[in-house]
Chain A
Amino acid sequence: MSKTATAASQNAALLNQFYRDMLLIRRFEERAGQLYGMGLIGGFCHLYIGQEAVVVGMQAATEPGDQVITAYRDHGHMLACGMEPAGVMAELTGRSGGYSKGKGGSMHMFSREKNFYGGHGIVGAQVPLGTGLAFANRYRGNDRVSLTYFGDGAANQGQVYESFNMAAVWKLPVVYVIENNQYAMGTAISRSTSETHLYKRGVSFNIPGEEVDGMDVEAVYAAGRKAVEHCRAGNGPYILEMRTYRYRGHSMSDPAKYRTKEEVQEMREKHDPIEGLRTKILAAGAADEAALKALDKEIKDTVSAAAEFAQMSPEPDPKELWTEIYA
């Protein structure tokens, strides 16, 4: 463990914050899954359960004003950015109270206020966009860093490498966060990818890369701080490969025949980021059982209120079809 991570682990407040943020995502996603099962959410719904440590650790490593962009598995990123659970859930149910007023759905939400730039459904396409966020920062000389997330599957899209080269040549402040959850829909990474150590993908562009245990929020935080500082100091892009795992199917309709139940069970039982941190918090005395129980209740209430709002918020008026197409 690095010095930074050791320092972080000594910081009880930080550990509690990590725990709270990860638990909110977990409970939110569980509820979204339930609402989907009840037919209240339609279309696609890609849950982030299992990967919570990645966005929570990374977000803690940023400063206000830094930007986030990702693909369609985006609920966790939005919550980590501080977007309202109710507004996110109401977008999942397609209601007027959702962040995109019901026009976007689960895959397409934004918050200028929280510097969240979507929510994108074309695999890999957010990578050049995130590079453009960094370009604008560099151009304006504003010190901001862009966190550009994508998956192991997206790492096989050509536009990712056009972006890497441009970012490196122009020294753009962008951290490419590769969420390697080992599957792209039904395809295991080893079947589709010749070099499965994705942190090496920057080698030929002179972009430094690092492999990180994405199930360990402190490790993510430590690596995130280093990468963000590298970018902020004007040294150009940085790649972090987060080794992580999604517990649920690719989206809600995935029968998941491409991997064994035992494999999933093993990850849940031995590597769960929330359970792992919980044990650590209790051992370190950063909080006691009663405090964690109270927190659990508080988060459950927040998520219930979000689910309630998502069902009560009115459907958008059909006239909305004609608005916001042009300026």
Chain B
Amino acid sequence: MNAPTKISFSQGINMALDEALAADPNVFLLGEDIADAQGGGVFKATLGLSAKHGTDRVRSTPISEQAIVGAAVGAAITGMRPVAEIMFMNFLTVCMDQLVNHAAKLRFMSGGLTSVPLTIRCGTGAGVGFGGQHSDMLEAWFAHVPGMKVVTASNPADAKGLLLSAIEDDDPTLFIENVAMYAAQGAPPEPGYKVPLGKAAIRRAGGDVTIITYGRPVGEVEAVAETLAAEGISAEVIDLRTIAPFDEAAVLNSVAKTGRAVIVHEAVKAFGVGAEISSRIHEELFGQLKSPVKRVGSKYSPVPFSPPLEQAFLYSRAEIAAAVKATMG
């Protein structure tokens, strides 16, 4: 059998789920319409898995997010490894209690007697016209909760490797998928391929400025770095992969070298993950910085429906380039 030369982001997710189901009988999937008879997931990430592993292990649920996540937490504290699909990140708000008050805290509040090896997958992202209640990037909300891990991938192989690690991890992990990337193609990973949680990747080496980002903007930042190189600016691009807890060593080592930093994310800039990273850089490296750290994010507005407004809402390559140039003075 010939291995494919490219796979899509959703295929990467599918591979991780398939391997996890095959490897461990404690793994099961639940979510709305995820079994094949209901379409194999709205984004087709679970397509074929119920046929292969059975509907006992790949279960379509009622539209009941509190019960989905609550039941997943309950099963997890007995040692199972549920992977729950919450169709859109905005719907996490419906089951926030189960995540924040239960999943994230049970290990600590039980003095280490319980653990919640739960993975929650959700899609989201602006740029595809899904409007105000289906597009928000809320990673900072969850990163702010001690006990939760937050992960996102910038390419299909990482999606596979990170998701597999998340499922095997003993803590509750939120895995964020950008809906604009499900069809994105990339090199296929080897069977068994895993990406460790908590470790960033250096996507491009450079000496003048460090650009820290994650998820969909990684590709945009790489493209900007390429054009900046032509203008004589050498940017180092860091893909965090795990947003919380983030790889401080990778970030601080790079910024110690370059003396300049820009943080880019799709979430609105105000009160975002970029603010935390910027603060950590200032706290640790203030004396070595050549210019203040800059942040690029989307505008402080609900995500609008109309395409031109939605584009105006989103961060842009021009804004990334301008932020980098501002740090260069």
- Taking CB atoms and an 8 Å cut-off, the chain A residues in 162-203 that contact chain B are 184-187, 191-193
Q: Which residue of B lies closest to A154 (CB)?
A: B63
Q: Which residues of B contact A94 (CB under 8 A)?
A: 129, 305-307, 309
Measured between beta carbons, the chain A residues less than 8 angstroms from B292 are none
When the two chains form the complex, which single residue of B62, B91, B133, B313 contacts A107, counting CB atoms closer than 8 Å? Answer: B133
- B150 vs chain A, min Cβ distance (A): 22
Interface of chain B residues 63 through 83 with chain A (CB within 8 A): 63-64, 66-67
Contact residues, B289-327 vs A (CB, 8 A): 299-302, 304-309, 312-313
| 8 Å CB contact of B32 from A106, A158, A159, A185 | A185
- In contact, A122 and B305 (Cβ under 8 angstroms): no
Which residues from chain B contact A257 at a C-beta distance below 8 Å? 39
The 7 A-B residue pairs whose C-beta atoms are closest, nearest first, are: A43-B129, A105-B305, A94-B306, A102-B306, A186-B38, A121-B133, A42-B129
Q: Which of A104-148 contact B (CB under 8 A)?
A: 104-108, 120-125
Provide the bound-state CA to CA distance between A100 and B304, in Å: 10
- Contact residues of A between 201 and 244, Cβ < 8 Å to B: none
Q: Determine if A316 is an interface residue (Cβ-Cβ < 8 Å).
A: yes
Could you list some 17 contacts between A and B, CB below 8 A?
Answer: A43-B130, A44-B129, A44-B130, A103-B304, A104-B132, A107-B133, A108-B133, A120-B133, A154-B63, A159-B94, A186-B38, A186-B60, A191-B60, A192-B62, A315-B308, A316-B308, A321-B299
When the two chains form their complex, are residues B90 and A192 in contact, meaning their CB atoms are under 8 A apart? no
- Asked if B180 lies at the interface with its beta carbon under 8 angstroms from chain A, I say no
Q: Which of B39, B128, B132 contacts A186 (CB 8 A)?
A: B39
Interface size class of B (residues with CB under 8 A): 35 or more
| Bound-complex Cα distance A103 to B60 (A) | 33
- Asked if A322 and B301 make an inter-chain contact with CB atoms under 8 angstroms apart, the answer reads yes
By CB atoms of chain A within 10 A, which of B38, B90, B306, B308 has the most?
B306
Q: Do residues B39 and A123 form an inter-chain contact, with CB atoms below 8 A?
A: no
- A153: contacting residue among B63, B93, B134, B301, CB under 8 A: B63
Q: Is B42 an interface residue (CB 8 A)?
A: yes
> Are A156 and B64 within 8 A (Cβ)?
yes
B residues less than 8 Å from A121 (CB atoms): 90, 131-134
Question: Are B64 and A103 in contact, CB atoms less than 8 angstroms apart?
Answer: no
Residues of A within 8 A of B62 (CB): 153, 156, 187, 192-193
How far is B299's CA from A211's CA once the two chains are assembled, in angstroms? 47
CA A67 – CA B95 in complex, angstroms? 29
Contact of A46 with B by CB under 8 A: no
- The residues of A that contact B90 with a CB separation of less than 8 Å are 121-122
Cβ of A43: which chain B residues have Cβ within 8 Å of it?
A: 128-131, 305
Is the beta-carbon distance between A315 and B306 smaller than 8 angstroms?
Answer: yes
Residue of B nearest to A101 (CB): B306
B278 interface residue (CB < 8 Å to A): no
Q: How large is the interface on A (under 10, 10 to 19, 20 to 34, 35 or more residues)?
A: 35 or more
CB of A45, distance to nearest CB on chain B (Å): 10
- Establish whether residues A105 and B63, one from each chain, have CB atoms under 8 Å apart when the complex forms: no
Known: A156-B63, A185-B33. A105 touches B131 (CB 8 A): yes
With A43-B128, A105-B129 already in contact, 5 other A-B pairs whose C-beta atoms are closer than 8 Å: A156-B64, A158-B64, A192-B61, A258-B39, A322-B299
B residues in contact with A192, CB < 8 Å: 60-63
Interface presence of A255 (CB below 8 A): yes
User: Is A318 engaged at the interface, CB distance under 8 Å to the other chain?
Assistant: yes
The CA-CA distance from A154 to B64 in the complex, in Å, is 8
CB of B299, distance to nearest CB on chain A (Å): 6
A1 adjacent to chain B (CB < 8 Å): no
Name the one of A104, A107, A157, A255 contacting B63, with C-beta atoms under 8 angstroms: A157
Most chain A CB within a 10 A radius of its CB, from B37, B93, B304, B307: B304
Q: Which residues of A contact B33 (CB under 8 A)?
A: 185-187
Interface 0/1 of A238-252, CB less than 8 Å to B: 000000000000000
